[in-house]
Structure 1
Amino acid sequence: MVKKFNNSWSWYDFEDFDLEGLQKIAAEKAQYDLDYWIKKIQETKTNSIVINTFRPGAEWVGGSLVFRQDLLDKDDNHLFHFFVGEDFLITSNLEYSLLGKNDSKYILDEQMENTGNAIEGFSVLLGEVMTSSLIKIDPFEVRLNNLLWKMKEQNSTEILEEIYQCRHELLVLKHLMIPIREIRIALEEAFAERIADKPYYQRICLKIERGFTIVSDYQAEIDTLINLEEVVSSHRGNEIMKTLTVLTTLFTPATVLGAIWGMNFKYMPELEWKYGYLFSFGVIIFSTLLLFGIVKRKGWSGDILRGKKKNSFFK
């Protein structure tokens, strides 16, 4: 399907890969190396971009872009192909229903009516693709906010797992945005002054900047959460080791004295004492309390004898 806008540029939009239709356009646009692009997109299954500036007046940017990626399933992704010259745009395999809005196609047509060339029209299309990624950030923001408070109220390994799941989802979103930024730079590299001052191009620049700013800010928040978890885990690990060390120290007298009186020497006068049993208990209790007093006085026991308080990271 071909549409003309302002009698200045055309948009060839193919729902599926149509080799015959693309070859027909290639014959009409002989000054562009469309055959190379057509061959390349048949072999491409992921993001790619080609810039051709060898022929003045016939510069173009072409490639493929993953415009939709499920945050949990790596195999659930969708790719479309594009070719941008100054006076025409070709797209293939673009599913508008997946852009996040039911009226995405209508919105695109309306905005493209106000564009002056195909480069600006493609900027409009990139804006919609970028918006589809930004839409996913809203529910992510809600999840992250809930996670901030869950971590304080009921911190556990499950919370740490959720933090890393959020981090992975954010990386997927960022991975979707990086090729869009690369395409934006490629457009400026290929068409220079013919695109730099166009309003829709400036808007996609700002939208990309907004997307990366949001992702960077949330990434910083998640990194802070992870660092906090590491500090809490390290502190609790030290508390456990401190507890085990103190308990081992306190039971040392009982262990040593038990080992001594458990020997089988023939001459052990303590075995004949009338109150030897009570005497051994007394020595064990006294030496244990003495060690506990020393540990307590030096402050080595710390907080290990206190119960964990609700809504606290360390107490």
Structure 2
Amino acid sequence: MFKQLAKKEEHGFEWLDLSQPENEELKQIAEKYNLHEASVHDCLQPDHLPKYEAVNGYCFIIFRIYADQQSMEADTVQELTDKIAIFFSDKYIITIHRQEQGFVNSIADLLQTQKLKSTRQLLNILIKYCLQTYDAPSAKLAKDIDYYEECVFLRSRKVPLLKGLYYLRRKIDLVRRMLILSYDIIDNLDTEDEGNVNTRDTRDLYIKLQNVYDSLYDNINQLLNAYFSTSSQRTNEIMRVLTIFSVFFMPLTFIVGIYGMNFKYMPELDWHLGYPAVMLLMVIITIAVFIWFKRKGWL
């Protein structure tokens, strides 16, 4: 779908927005604005990573934004993020994306009330809105980490912890890598317009998000280490209990094994107090083992 959100007569530049463009439609736009074939090919690739490149007469940007709709087990670039391609020059901005993006309409409404001096200002606003798509998810991911942390340390069995932690770590790591790869876009945007408060504000937002996701990445790694440590501790606790039980029964089993041998001549077999004596011996041994464990602090 093709929309012209800004006209040169009104704003001094053109802004064309293409959502789910047809090949013929995109070909016409490429011919009209002399877009390089390689750039057009890159903008059609659904899994292309963020990039910034200067081509003759214009700049080409690919930015990945956080997807609104995704499954809980989403852990790939295409599942977690949507791509927006931007062709930018002093005379025009062309945005191309597969999914409808609400912030595009919000910026279009902003153009009706706010006069922008150049396409660079519009580009800065676009990048800032793209970055802001990562802001709210960071709070949700932090909340998820707190939930799993509670499950790990309070020994809750409400969810399959390891599987949930795996997908959570994958999401955080992927978003973190998308932000790292977007550095060239932010750096070029701010460097070329040095001293501009708006571009500096966009850089500050980028740095803030990068620090937030770095912190989330460190937290989830620490939580995974804690999970494995507590799992190992629980295994050791179970083994300790089983070992204690086996130590209690080892001498008793030894005695039972001796008296279970089918020899005809054994000294205690004809003794009428043999049975109660053996039972008393077993009780004494059990009490002695218990006292020994208590003194050692193993119980």
Is the 8 Å Cα contact of residues 65 and 79 (structure 1) preserved in structure 2? yes
Indicate the SS of the match to 2:268.
helix
Note if contact 2:66-2:82 (Cα within 8 Å) is conserved in structure 1. Answer: yes
- Alignment of 1:266 with 2:270, yes or no, is no
290-299 or 143-152: which moved more? 143-152
Residue 105 (structure 1) aligned with residue 115 (structure 2): no
For 1:177 and 1:111, the matched residues in 2 are separated by 31
The counterpart of 1:15, out of the listed 19, 25, 44, is: 19
Contact 1:61 1:85 in 2 (8 A): no
* Pairwise CA distance, 1:250: 1.3
Partner Cα separation in structure 1 for residue 33 and residue 260 of structure 2 = 100
Q: Which whole-Å CA distance do the structure 2 matches of 1:216 and 1:183 have between them?
A: 15
Matches for 1:38-57 after TM superposition, within 5 Å: 38-42=40-44, 44-49=45-50, 51-53=52-54, 55=56
Contact 2:49–2:64, Cα closer than 8 Å, also in 1: yes
- Could you say what secondary structure the match of 1:175 adopts? helix
Cα distance, 1:254 vs structure 2: 1.1
Moved more, 138-147 or 249-258: 138-147
Note the C-alpha offset of 1:53.
Answer: 3.8
Distance 1:254 1:228 in 2: 40
- Read off the aligned partner of 2:13 and give its amino acid letter: W
Which residue of the partner structure matches residue 36 of structure 1? 38
Cα RMSD (Å) of the superposition?
3.4
1:131 aligned to 2:132?
yes
Q: Aligned-pair distance for 1:281?
A: 1.0
Match of 2:158 in 1: 158
- Given candidates 73, 86, 92, the residue that maps to 2:96 is 92
Aligned counterparts of 1:29 and 1:265: Cα–Cα separation in 2: 105
Q: Tell me the residue number matched to 1:235.
A: 233
Closer/same/farther in 2, CA of residues 173 and 86 from structure 1, 3 Å limit:
farther
| Secondary structure in structure 2 of the residue aligned to 1:121 | helix
1:142-291 → structure 2 map (5 Å cutoff): 142-149=143-150, 154-158=154-158, 161=161, 165=164, 168-169=167-168, 171-172=170-171, 175-176=174-175, 178-179=177-178, 181-186=180-185, 188-189=187-188, 193-291=191-289
SS of aligned partner of 1:11: strand
- The number of aligned residues is 289
Secondary structure in 2 aligned to 1:270?
coil
Q: Distance in 2 between matches of 1:151 and 1:52?
A: 45
1:225 deviation in Å? 3.3
| Structure 2 residue aligned with 1:293 | 291
Q: Structure 2: any 5+ residue segments left out of the alignment?
A: none
Q: Secondary structure at the match of 1:127?
A: helix
State the identity as a percent.
17
- Work out the CA distance in 2 between the residues paired with 1:110 and 1:201: 17
**Mind listing any 5+ residue stretches in structure 1 that lack a counterpart?**
303-315
Normalised by the size of structure 2, how large is the TM-score?
Answer: 0.78
Tell me how far 1:200 sits from its aligned partner: 3.1
